[in-house]
Chains A and B, each alone.
Chain A
Amino acid sequence: AQSVTQLGSHVSVSEGALVLLRCNYSSSVPPYLFWYVQYPNQGLQLLLKYTSAATLVKGINGFEAEFKKSETSFHLTKPSAHMSDAAEYFCAVSVGGGADGLTFGKGTHLIIQP
């Protein structure tokens, strides 16, 4: 069975600093990987996805993630944090090409310090 581990339930960075949110996955087949963002009392919005093409994936709002098979990782980064980035971030894995139910990590709450 597949699984996702997000290291750090809370991450705090200063405005303008680098954002790094960690995600490690476990899968017996080549995975599809996703990062979603959730603002308070809202649904999830897709930030970016890896679907076995380029290992460096660029998403919306300046975020990007790199798929590293040897490390089973898919960490999310943004060079310069903005106050509006404060939200909950979820990493998810699919073993059915995205057509199956996604397996989510527990989430990382990103706090932006002014």
Chain B
Amino acid sequence: NAGVMQNPRHLVRRRGQEARLRCSPMKGHSHVYWYRQLPEEGLKFMVYLQKENIIDESGMPKERFSAEFPKEGPSILRIQQVVRGDSAAYFCASSPIRDKSYEQYFGPGTRLTVT
């Protein structure tokens, strides 16, 4: 069973460009979480999605950031008009939410560098 897949693994964008980060959850998982890790910091929760629904976006910046998890295809985290402060590692996790044994399985991350 393949793990959580994220692509690209590394992404370089100039200030003002758009960044699109993709996450394919583990097979059978219908819940996706996005986290951001800044240097020397722990992970910060951004958004929790189920298929076609945003469940909790309390950690998302109010502007320029959006996320979706369509019925078909990967989850997308989109950052418009990137700024240097967006440089970070972005991790996706997925969960099956079954048997009350909630575990989040993490992907390898996308490292975004804004120049």
Chain A residues at the B interface, C-beta cutoff of 8 Å: 4, 9, 32, 36, 41-46, 49, 51, 90, 92, 94, 97-107
How many interface residues does B have (CB within 8 Å)? 31
Across the interface, which residues of A come within 8 angstroms of B33, CB to CB?
101-102
Complex alpha-carbon distance, A98 and B40, angstroms:
25
- Beta-carbon contact of B104 and A43 below 8 Å: no
In the complex, what's the smallest C-beta–C-beta distance from B105 to chain A, in angstroms? 8
Which residue from A36, A97, A103, A106 sits with its C-beta under 8 Å from B102?
Answer: A97
**Contact present for A105 and B107 (CB under 8 Å):** no
Contact A104–B103 (Cβ < 8 Å): no
Q: Are A106 and B41 in contact (CB under 8 A)?
A: yes
**CB contact between A102 and one of B41, B43, B105, B108 (< 8 Å): that residue:** B43
Q: How far, in whole Å, are A43 and B101 apart by their CA atoms in the complex? A: 21
On chain A, the residues within 8 Å of B93 by CB distance are: 44
CA of A105 to CA of B42, assembled, Å: 6
Asked whether B48 lies within 8 Å of A100 as measured between CB atoms, the reply is yes
Q: Does B52 contact A (CB under 8 A)?
A: no
Q: Across the interface, which residues of B come within 8 angstroms of A43, CB to CB?
A: 4, 91, 106-109
* A-B contact number at CB 8 A: 68
Nearest-neighbor residue (CB-CB) of B59 within chain A: A101
CB pair B104 A102 closer than 8 Å: yes
Q: How far is the CA of A92 from the CA of B102 in the complex (A)?
A: 13
> Is B100's beta carbon under 8 Å from chain A?
yes
Contacting B101 at CB < 8 Å: which of A51, A105, A107? A51
Indicate whether B56 reaches chain A with its CB closer than 8 angstroms: yes
- Measured CA separation A9–B42 after assembly (Å): 11
A49 to B103, Cβ gap below 8 A?
Answer: yes
Q: What residues of A have a CB within 8 angstroms of the CB of B108 in the complex? A: 41-43
How close is B89's CB to chain A, nearest CB, in angstroms? 9
Residue of A nearest to B48 (CB): A101
Residues of B within 8 A of A42 (CB): 108-109
Instruction: Determine the chain A residues whose CB is within 8 A of the CB of B46 once the complex forms.
Output: 101
| Shortest distance between the CB of B5 and any CB in chain A (Å) | 10
A106 vs B4: C-alpha distance when bound (angstroms): 23
* A90 to B42 Cα, complex, angstroms: 7
